[in-house]
Structure formats: structure tokens, C-alpha cells
């Protein structure tokens, strides 16, 4: 049985990312690095509608999604606006269909911890 997305996340800010994620799955191995980085953050919540069937997953603070795992290779991060060029030059792909400032990083990106920390700091500040 698939769980419903928490009601506080059903807002305009998350609309495009939730629509993007809805049909997707997520291989468990790709979220291990980001899960390890975020599991001790008290204000960060994790959601997966159906972990037994490897559905997508995401992390959020209050009513804002700032990171997700989908497919077999990518972690999506919502970054501050002024870091787009740097993210792309480090190997990320801008995901314009998710809205502005969403970038896809390979789950094994050598600097993933730094990018996750930046996305987290931005989410805490918004």
C-alpha cells in the first residue's frame, strides 16, 4: 500500500517535483550516501511512499522538499540560485522541468556531501 504525501507538502513550491517523482522508482543503494548525511538532522524528515516496492523518496524541512532520490543513479538537490554554474561545472545536470535551481547529481559524486550540506543549509534558511 502506497502512503500519501504529507499534506503540508502539497503546495506550489513542491508541485513540480512531486509530479516528476510520482511515477518513479528509486534503487535503495543510491540513497544510502544522502540518507547517512541527513539522518542525524532533527528537523529533516524523510518520506518514501512505498519502500518495499522501491518508490522514489525525498527529504524535506517543514513544507519544502530539498532533496530526492530517483531511478538508479541520481540524487536531486534544490540549491541556492547563485550556485548553478558551479554545480554544472562539477558534473550536475540542471533539471529545468522541476523548476529553477534543481540539479541532478550522480549518487556517487565525489563532492556529494558538500552539495547536500549546501541544499540543507538553504532549506533551513528558507
Residue 67 resides in a domain: yes
What is the domain range of residue 36? Answer: 25-125
Name the band, by pLDDT with cuts 50, 70 and 90, for residue 59. Answer: very high
Q: What is the CATH number of the domain that holds 62?
A: 3.90.1150
- Please say whether the beta carbons of 101 and 19 come within 8 A: no
pLDDT band at 46 (very low <50, low <70, confident <90, very high): very high
Q: How many degrees, rounded to 5, is the angle at CA 74 between CA 68 and CA 75?
A: 30
Helix (H, G, I), strand (E, B) or coil at 18: helix
Q: Is 108 domain-assigned?
A: yes
Distant-in-sequence, close-in-space partners of 101: CB < 8 Å, separation ≥ 6 = 78, 79, 80, 81, 84
pLDDT at 1 over 80: no
How many domains does the chain contain in total? 1
Amino acid at each position: 500500500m502506497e502512503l500519501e504525501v504529507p499534506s503540508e507538502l502539497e503546495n506550489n513550491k513542491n508541485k513540480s517535483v512531486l509530479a516528476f517523482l510520482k511515477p518513479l522508482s528509486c534503487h535503495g543503494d543510491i540513497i544510502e550516501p544522502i540518507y547517512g548525511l541527513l539522518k542525524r538532522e532533527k528537523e529533516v524528515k524523510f518520506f518514501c511512499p512505498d519502500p518495499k516496492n522501491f518508490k522514489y523518496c525525498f527529504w524535506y524541512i517543514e513544507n519544502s522538499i530539498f532533496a530526492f532520490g530517483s531511478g538508479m543513479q541520481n540524487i536531486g538537490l534544490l540549491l541556492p540560485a547563485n550556485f548553478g554554474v558551479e554545480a554544472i561545472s562539477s558534473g550536475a545536470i540542471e533539471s529545468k522541468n522541476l523548476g529553477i535551481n534543481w540539479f541532478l547529481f550522480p549518487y556517487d559524486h565525489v563532492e556529494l556531501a558538500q552539495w547536500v550540506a549546501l541544499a540543507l543549509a538553504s532549506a533551513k534558511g528558507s
